[in-house]
Amino acid sequence: MTSELLKRVEALRQQLHQHNHQYYVLDDPVISDAEYDQLFRDLLKIEQEYPEVFSVDSPTQRVGAKPLSQFNRVEHKIPMLSLGNAFSEDEVSVFDKRLRDRLKDDSIIEYVAEPKLDGLAVSLMYEKGVLVQAATRGDGATGEDITQNIRTVGSIPLKLTGKGFPERLEVRGEVFMPLAGFKSLNDQLAAEDQKTFVNPRNAAAGSLRQLDSKITAQRPLDMYSYAVGFTENGAMPTNQWDSLEILASWGLKVCPEIKLVKGDRGCHEFYRDIGVRRSALAYEIDGVVFKVNDFQVQEQLGFVSRAPRWAIAQKFPAEEVQTVINDVEFQVGRTGAITPVARLEPVFVGGVTVSNATLHNMDEVERKDIHIGDVAVVRRAGDVIPEVARVIVDKRPADARPVVLPEKCPICSSEIERVEGEAIARCSGGLYCSAQLKESIKHFVSRKALDIDGLGDKLVEQLFDAALIKNFDDIFSLNHKDIARLERMGDKSATNVLQAIEDSKNTTLARFIYALGIREVGEATAKNLANYFGDLTLIEKASLEQLESVDDIGPIVAEHVVRFFKEPHNIQVIEQLLDSGVKWAPLLVAEGESGLPLEGQVYVITGTLKEMKRSEVKEKLESLGAKVTGSVSSKTNVLIAGENAGSKLTKAEKLKINIFDENQMFEMFHTFD
């Protein structure tokens, strides 16, 4: 191949990248579609004749590749956290004051305010300016590899423009479907007698999760970048606003509505303004996000649980409509909780047709004076869960009936118990109740538990109703024939599910404890139990006093744990699961009261590490009993500092906190091996 032809290939690629940017990002095309198509065909012809010039960043790679059999998992180097919510201006003002109190500085805080797009959060990884991987948010720690699909989105550059970008750059953003594209897509689907999408968010999510990227390529998707996840070997601005500006200079699309505001007053003004203009925007939003602009201040504020302290989402009020409560039925949850559910005259609210709405519990039913036959005001709480906000008593018909809690479980006829002082009534049947058992199995296979990909709620119900599974351990006895013969399944789907079941056998002690579904033992509590005891047998034999020594566990939760492990049936199921091959890497245990060598110590990680991912270091430290936080304080015992450590290192030096480099960190780990 001649050097002239190579130059021609590079020139065509550069031209097409620029024209894509003009069309999708700037909305200012400078050539006709016919001229663009000709350039594209010229490049495609050369690449087909000379395969050696293939490049992943070529514009021809947007057309869609060979269909996948399944999505691979991607671990986020830095977790993609969720945000705390506010539903009023007062709550935003309280948030602002809380930050100033924590900083011990009453100066006005500068925020970056941006519309909260109703789409799908994604992570884009660029290496030397070339897009190499894209992933969904998933559960925040791991997502799905959607690189092939993301390549088809015209507004996402396959190769960054300009210069000065880091060697590795993770960009985070929201993929969404503009309203005009959504309408056009639904019109097309309806004309082809296919099922239409309920709302733009579902359309965007469904399009990104196509195994065949050629389908995604036909969908009108767009993306706005909203943050930098992490960087390697390259300097970045020290605040959010400048980071967004530099991302835009590299060819990434940034929402034009984003604004720099000062204090809670500036946040209120932005919220009101965007609320007035909401219906005129080209895309759906469900609120506004406020982020502290200064990255150093963000570091000072740190994180709480799964959310940053320095950001908050103020949601728009839920849309409300009126409809009739035709009936009230009672559902049985995993822990036996009896939940009243209103069966409604179908009504369109918040972008979906709603026919059922939760009534939460009988205290709520009584407080709102809900009767069967009432005209109810229904809303989607947080634009997600439909609920009955109130009933209109003036419109109550003469034959309206009060809602009465049944005495017997509607599923297994066991007694319903309502403990004094508790709002929730429960079925006393335990795992004898098929509803509780079914919900427990759904929980066991869920993403945060054993994470069996492909074994969703509907398939669990099919397997349970066909008597193919009666408990957790039966999942590991399923065979190809059992699964393949079910509705909407086949050989390929059955093979994928069986492989996912096999993969799930390698888990962690924390996930396993959470998967068991012990009442009031959530993710954090399961993790604390695993880290404190380090061994399942020790947890099974733990006394109430020992359990109450664990962080986040009080007498009520301790009682639930003891009661669970005293039940012979539960121990039998656990033994059968272990016999089926479910296992986890042993946690390191040293002598001492807690059994973990770093129990009670607080660690912070900062900078770029060469040999291990920060998430891996965090997991290792937690397995040794340490608490890993996001900010340095007087309570911090050790700061692990990689390359390009910033303000956290400076603060640690001021506070005279122990500082380990990566080599010292490994030396410490080796002492416990």
Q: What is the rounded distance in angstroms from the CA atom of residue 72 to the CA atom of residue 133?
A: 11
Is 620 a known ligand-binding residue?
no
Task: Determine the length of the chain.
Answer: 673
Is 37 a known ligand-binding residue?
yes
Sign, CA torsion 252/258/259/265: negative
Structure tokens of 61?
Answer: 């790679």
Q: Which helix (H) or strand (E) holds 168?
A: strand 168-176
Q: What is the rounded distance in angstroms from the CA atom of residue 152 to the CA atom of residue 79?
A: 25
Q: What is the rounded distance in angstroms from the CA atom of residue 617 to the CA atom of residue 602?
A: 13
The neighbour count for residue 581, using CB atoms within 10 Å, is: 11
Q: What is the rounded distance in angstroms from the CA atom of residue 624 to the CA atom of residue 668?
A: 11
Exposure pattern of 394-409 as b/e (b: 16+ CB <10 Å)? Answer: eeeeeebeebeeeeeb
Q: Which residue has the tokens 């190579």?
A: 6
Catalytic residue (choose from 66, 77, 116, 492): 116
By CB atoms closer than 10 A (0-12, 13-18, 19+), residue 384 is exposed
**End-to-end CA, the chain:** 55
Q: Which residue has the tokens 């948030």?
A: 95
Bridge partners (DSSP) listed for residue 176: 222
**Is residue 307 a contact partner of residue 280, using CB atoms and an 8 Å limit?**
no
Return the half-sphere exposure (C-beta side, CA atoms, 13 A cut-off) of residue 498: 15
Q: What is the rounded distance in angstroms from the CA atom of residue 125 to the CA atom of residue 136?
A: 12
Strand, helix or coil for residue 317: coil
Q: What is the rounded distance in angstroms from the CA atom of residue 333 to the CA atom of residue 335?
A: 6
Is 433 a known ligand-binding residue?
yes
Q: What is the rounded distance in angstroms from the CA atom of residue 592 to the CA atom of residue 95?
A: 41
Best CA proximity match to 114, nearest among 319, 317, 267: 267
Sign, CA torsion 465/466/471/472: negative
Alpha-helical runs (H) found in 542-641? 544-548, 555-566, 568-579, 614-623
Best CA proximity match to 269, nearest among 296, 254, 256, 288: 288
Is 364 a known ligand-binding residue?
no
Q: What is the rounded distance in angstroms from the CA atom of residue 79 to the CA atom of residue 70?
A: 23
Q: What is the rounded distance in angstroms from the CA atom of residue 275 to the CA atom of residue 287?
A: 8
Instruction: Name residue 638's amino acid.
Output: V
User: What single DSSP character describes residue 593?
Assistant: S
**Is residue 226 a contact partner of residue 244, using CB atoms and an 8 Å limit?**
yes
Is 82 a known ligand-binding residue?
yes
By CB atoms closer than 10 A (0-12, 13-18, 19+), residue 70 is middle
Q: What is the rounded distance in angstroms from the CA atom of residue 245 to the CA atom of residue 584?
A: 45
Is 34 a known ligand-binding residue?
yes
Q: Which residue has the tokens 């720690």?
A: 141
116 is annotated as an active-site residue: yes
Beta strand 311-315 with 285-292 is: antiparallel
**Is residue 409 a contact partner of residue 338, using CB atoms and an 8 Å limit?**
yes
Is 315 a known ligand-binding residue?
yes
Bridge partners (DSSP) listed for residue 304: 307
Is 277 a known ligand-binding residue?
no
Bridge partners (DSSP) listed for residue 130: 127, 159
Q: What is the rounded distance in angstroms from the CA atom of residue 333 to the CA atom of residue 427?
A: 9
Is 174 a known ligand-binding residue?
yes
What residue numbers does the annotated binding site for NAD(+) cover? 33-37, 82-83, 114, 137, 174, 291, 315
What residue numbers does the annotated binding site cover? 33-37, 82-83, 114, 137, 174, 291, 315, 409, 412, 433
Which residues are known to be catalytic? 116
What residue numbers does the annotated binding site for Zn(2+) cover? 409, 412, 433
